Amino acid sequence: MGHPSVIIAAPSSGSGKTTVTLGLIRAFCDRGVNISSAKIGPDYIDPRFHEIAGNRRCINLDSWSMREHLFEKLVLECEPRSDLFIIEGVMGLFDGAAERGAFGNGSTASVAKKLQASVILVVDAKSQAQSVAALVKGFRDHDPGLHLAGIILNRVGSDRHAQLIKEALDKENIFIFGFIPQCKKLELASRYLGLVQAHELKDIDKHIDGIAKIIDDHIDLNAIRKVATSHTVTRQALSSGIKPFGQHISIANDAAFSFIYPHILESWRESGAEITTFSPLEDETPDPNSDAVYLPGGYPELYAEQLAHNINFFNSLRIAAGQNKFIFGECGGYMVLGDYLIDQSGTQHEMAGLLPLTTSFENKKLSLGYRTATTV
């Protein structure tokens, strides 16, 4: 059992795979094809763009941090709802953790092999021509267990540029799905954790429409459907093992706190937990009837001054702590539980004071990657 799947990968970050993925999702939807989508890795931002492009929930798939049965459950849930499953990769095709995790190293390649899905490589052709053939040949031959169906060339400068690349790729028997011209309006704004969040971008739906038009004009969509392969997940998977934090969980949810996986909320609801939300930015407080408070990640550092003046929000956290309610702060949520948050300008802002720590963004030093933590 399964449904046709294709993975959009790249040799490295910044090659254009998110832009191509969004364009493909919208272009296929415009043709009446029912699309489901996924993002590989622990990414909270790109899936929201997928959801706008396809008007459907996007899932995360992670071979390092997810239990295999949860991975399979999420994939299986997509089957009844779509004709084509488009999966966006992470970083470069083979990039992942140094050591194996749950059932893989978190790389795009590990997910492709798990699903036996066809891989399409998005290659940034700017500043190179025939060398593209050597690059792609290396990716194709690096792991014989992968099925590299072909490539999409991005940022192609001219017809002559395209012809030079095609002649070199033809010699290596590498299929080309299309050439995307260099075009400034295809670009999406970014910051240190990736793209700027979808809700911050004006006219993002119109922007995706423009991307889809270019994709439809320059990519062979019929060929992509033909190479899509049915994945090999066949058994009915068990539900998520993540237990609810409480019977009634009050969750911070606004522009500063938005990093949460939808499948976690769904599993909590399936377990019978009640979920309510509140906005710290609006100086709202957790539901007083809740027995757990969840502060997810996001960008509180961008709103530190506003948050520092929201007395009701912080007092409610202190009261909840005094009542021994379960309070879970994750990433940005963890930062606001500390004493102070220092923004990029060096200004110090008072936070909840529930944990003896100060977080600073004054000096940029950000390392992204998988980490194993041990409780002490």
What is the DSSP pairing of strand 340-342 with strand 84-88? unpaired
| Residues sharing a CB contact under 8 Å with residue 265, sequence separation 6 or more, in sequence order | 251, 275
216 SS3 class:
helix
CA distances from 309 to 306, 314, 329, 356 (A): 6, 9, 19, 20
Catalytic residue among 29, 78, 183, 331: 331
What one-character DSSP code corresponds to residue 185? G
**29 carries an active-site annotation:** no
CB 19 within 8 A of CB 204: no
Letter string b/e over residues 298-317, b meaning 16 or more CB atoms within 10 A of that residue's CB: bbbbbbbeebbebeebbebb
Give the other-Cβ count within 10 Å of 195's Cβ: 18
Amino acid at 186: L
| Beta strands 176-181 and 190-191, pairing class | unpaired
225 closest CA partner among 83, 29, 336: 83
Whole-number Cα distances in Å, 52 to 195, 205, 229:
14, 7, 25
What are the tokens at 17?
């795979």
Q: Name the region of 260 (left: φ>0; alpha: ψ -120 to 50; beta: rest).
A: beta
Residue written as tokens 């190179």? Answer: 128
326 vs 371: CA distance, rounded Å: 24
Yes or no: say if 125 and 135 are a contact pair by the CB < 8 Å rule. no
Residues annotated catalytic, as ranges: 331
